[in-house]
Amino acid sequence: MNKKEDNDKKNRSRDRERNLQRKSRKSDNEIKGNRKGIILILISFLAVATMFIIKNKLGGNKIIIDEKTLCPIHTAIPNHKVIVIDKSEKWDDDDIVRLQRLLELIYKNIQFQERLTVTAITSRTGQSTEIESLFDMCNPGGGSEDECNSLYQNCKHLKKRYDASFGEPLHRLSKILSEPGKSSYSPLFETISQVIDDNKSGYLEINFISDLMENSQHFRFDEVIPLADELIKEFPVKANATILVHVNFIARTRHDQVIKSAALSVWHDYFQKQGIVFDSQQLLITKH
């Protein structure tokens, strides 16, 4: 082998070594790159997992509520109390005060997440009878973190807002009750049956303030008081929850005692035959 061939052989050997080194370095770089990618993926996964855990720890068991009603959005409302006031005639000031005390007592006894709705069957001089909504809110609780979602809601503000929310409806109601106006149309059964049909809670309590004298296109109690079966045929209800109807009776002195007793009796039978608990007590006696 001459000197030139020997040099060529050495050069080829060096070239092979360089190629092997380049491949080795490339392989090392690829491994390092893959390791970095895997590490980044693991870091991202851990970050997402940590955020998920924190969210569940802080907010998973908390309650998201509606800003207007303060009622839970994704949680069923366990108890719903509805107050229906029959304003078929003008009320005396003393009777309005007595009613306000009753409403305040019911309001103060509304528990955490319970819903309170107040409506009035109103009539004003020269106007038709209307069903007027006065109040509809849930009790957000005492403002503790266990009773609302501190990530999204200002709990103490909600508590103060709920505590101050009932004054304005009471003022509106007082104004409505003191206004002159006698209604010849009082759709009492239609109103109460609609409240029951619209119910979505497991327990519904209706506090009905009325003289129970239905006067509508179907029945006129001042002419004749029908049988309960006739009322059920016209206004059937489905008791899809535990339901209590409590009547605070307005005894009008112009109504004969026989008529008042018959009205109470037919209301009792109407609910009892449909599986709904009914009770009553006299709230006031009035000359109107």
With bands split at pLDDT 50, 70 and 90, how would you rate the model's confidence at 221? very high
Q: Tokens for 152?
A: 């999204």
Integer Cα distance of 241 and 273 in angstroms: 15
With bands split at pLDDT 50, 70 and 90, how would you rate the model's confidence at 268? very high
What pLDDT was estimated at residue 287? 79
pLDDT at 235 over 80: yes
- Sheet containing 130-138: order of strands: 130-138, 115-122, 79-86, 203-210, 242-252, 277-286
What pLDDT was estimated at residue 220? 93
What pLDDT was estimated at residue 54? 47
pLDDT at 275 over 60: yes
What pLDDT was estimated at residue 81? 97
With bands split at pLDDT 50, 70 and 90, how would you rate the model's confidence at 58? very low
What pLDDT was estimated at residue 79? 95
pLDDT at 99 over 80: yes
pLDDT at 45 over 70: no
What pLDDT was estimated at residue 186? 84
pLDDT at 231 over 90: yes
CB neighbour class for 108 (10 Å; exposed up to 12, middle 13-18, buried from 19) = exposed
With bands split at pLDDT 50, 70 and 90, how would you rate the model's confidence at 238? confident
Regarding predicted confidence, which is higher, 19 or 173?
173
Q: Tokens for 144?
A: 């503790």
Q: What is the mean pLDDT of the chain?
A: 81
pLDDT tens, position by position, 154-207:
777 888 888 888 988 888 888 888 876 666 678 899 999 999 999 999 999 999
Please give the share of the chain, as a percent, with pLDDT higher than 70: 70
The residue-averaged pLDDT of 141-145 equals 65
pLDDT at 47 over 50: yes
pLDDT at 265 over 90: yes
Please give the share of the chain, as a percent, with pLDDT higher than 90: 43
What is the full DSSP assignment across the chain?
--HHHHHHHHHHHHHHHHHHHHHHHHHHHHHHHHHHHHHHHHHHHHHHHHHHHHHIIIIITS--B-TTT--BSSS--SEEEEEEEE-SSPPPHHHHHHHHHHHHHHHHTPPTT-EEEEEEEE--TTS--EEEEEEEEE---SS-GGGS-TTT--HHHHHHHHHTSSHHHHHHHHHHHHS----S-B-HHHHHHHHHHT--SSEEEEEEEE----BSSS-BTTT----HHHHHHHS-----SEEEEEEEEEEETTS-HHHHHHHHHHHHHHHHTTT-EEEEEEEEEE--
- pTM recorded for the entire structure: 0.76
With bands split at pLDDT 50, 70 and 90, how would you rate the model's confidence at 52? very low
pLDDT at 67 over 90: no
What pLDDT was estimated at residue 151? 54
